[in-house]
Amino acid sequence: MVMYLRWIRYAHEGGPLEEGTLEGYNLTCPWHYAVFDIRNATVSDATVWATELTSYPVRIEETTGDILIDLRREKK
Ligand code: FES
């Protein structure tokens, strides 16, 4: 199983990405329909007007179940 774990900070107009639609790797924002690739948090060529997401790698600690967000490795 492949998982894409990233903590995403959305920089467009603050649309609720958690309410977006996921088709394959494409996450569509419900407000203005910007499309982002969940594997790398880049905006689709079809909606380049949208600001790219800022994301951080996330890891789940196997022994404790803690969710760790690496804020040092920001990706824009
Ligand atoms: S707020 Fe998400 S596309 Fe505009």
Domains and CATH numbers, the chain: 3-69 (2.102.10.10)
The rounded Å distance from CA 14 to ligand 1 centre is 6
Q: For the chain (length 76 residues), average pLDDT per consecutive 10?
A: 60 82 93 88 87 78 85 68
CA dihedral 18, 20, 21, 27 (to 10 degrees): -80
Token pair of 54 as six digits: 């800022």
Residue 20 CA: nearest ligand 1 atom is 2
The predicted pLDDT at position 30 comes to: 92
* 47 Cα nearest atom in ligand 1: 3
Per-residue pLDDT at 1: 46
* Per-residue pLDDT, 53: 75
**Residue 36 main-chain phi, psi, to 5 deg:** -125, 145
Indicate whether this model's pTM tops 0.75: no
> Ligand 1: distance of its center to the CA of 73 in Å?
24
Nearest atom in ligand 1 to the alpha carbon of residue 32 is 3
